[in-house]
Amino acid sequence: MNEPLNIDWATLPFGYLKTDYNVRSYFKDGKWSDIEVSDSENINIHMAATSLHYGQEIFEGLKAFRGVDGKIRIFRLHENAQRMRESAMGLCMEPIPVELFEEMVVKVVKLNERFIPPYGTGASLYIRPFEIGTSASVGVRKASEYLFMVLVTPVGPYFKTGFGLTNICIFREYDRVAPKGTGRWKVGGNYAAALAAGERAHAMGYSAVLFLDPKEKKYLDECGPANFFAIKDGVYITPESESILPSITNKSFMQLAKDMGIKVEQRHITVEELAEVQEAAACGTAAVASPIGEVDDIDTGHKYVIATDGKPGPVTTALYKKLRAIQYGEEPDVHGWCTIVE
């Protein structure tokens, strides 16, 4: 598959684009199979598979970048492997061995190397590992067989504004997850539960919903597809909650903030505290960091204007640029976050 690619990398959306190969491994009879390479976009699944009826489905999202030196870097591969094991255990699924996860991700990146966007385009290769229960059951029980698969696709920025200000909103009538539910694992159902609120927000002109804690509706939770952080009086603050997915991007920003001498606090943040922050952003693998200009509380009618000058804040900008520089090999990877694909 060496036909030339007709891709305008600079205008690439965040969407699915067919690539050459995906990789698969099947869990059956107590063990994972050898890695299978496929050029098919389809999977053959039993109509009574537990993933279809009882939600035994988990996934990850990470990226590969072509650096300034021409090398290919996968960002925080090991961290994603560990988080997927935690999601699997949370849903009573078979955890993927870290070594298998990492081998399959590196393999699929190599197989689709021609789809890795050139350095300087702002685009990257998005990597989507996922696991589904495949054994048939009409009773509520965990599967005995699973499929673990990794697909890749080149993508542009998640938000159309790129690293530009977006406005988000708060709805109190929607919950993303239940208290002590599946919020801390990367489960498709969490995102399905956020769709109605997200569609309504988009129709009103907002880029995302800032969900509140599902128990008291008092504290900030997360932005559906991304974590939330803010800068208050020079301190990096981000919500602490059992219902929030531990974002690897947020974790990276917290470390970079500490490296810069910025104090980090992971704690409860009330809605009213938004009036006291100088910067805010949604962060995640897809968006990296999306600076927030305004948070509108739809139920109370209160508008929290974060960016008074219409520009992303200096700390958010510095963190974003630092992380991107590490991903593209422009600055030293002192924490060993990048896996270089040989």
The per-residue pLDDT for range 185-220, each reduced to its tens digit, is 999 999 999 999 999 999 999 999 999 999 999 999
Collapsed DSSP state (helix, strand, coil) of residue 196: helix
The position carrying tokens 């804690």 is 213
| Assigned token pair, 237 | 């603050």
Q: What residue type is 196 in one-letter code?
A: A
Q: Would you mind telling me the total number of residues written for the chain in this entry?
A: 342
Angle at 319 between CA 314 and CA 322, to 5 degrees: 120
Residues 59, 91 contacting (CB under 8 angstroms) = no
pLDDT in tens, 277-328: 999 999 999 889 999 999 999 999 999 999 989 899 999 999 999 999 999 9
Nearest alpha-carbon partner for 155 in 11, 299, 317: 11
Q: State yes or no: pLDDT of 1 exceeds 70.
A: no
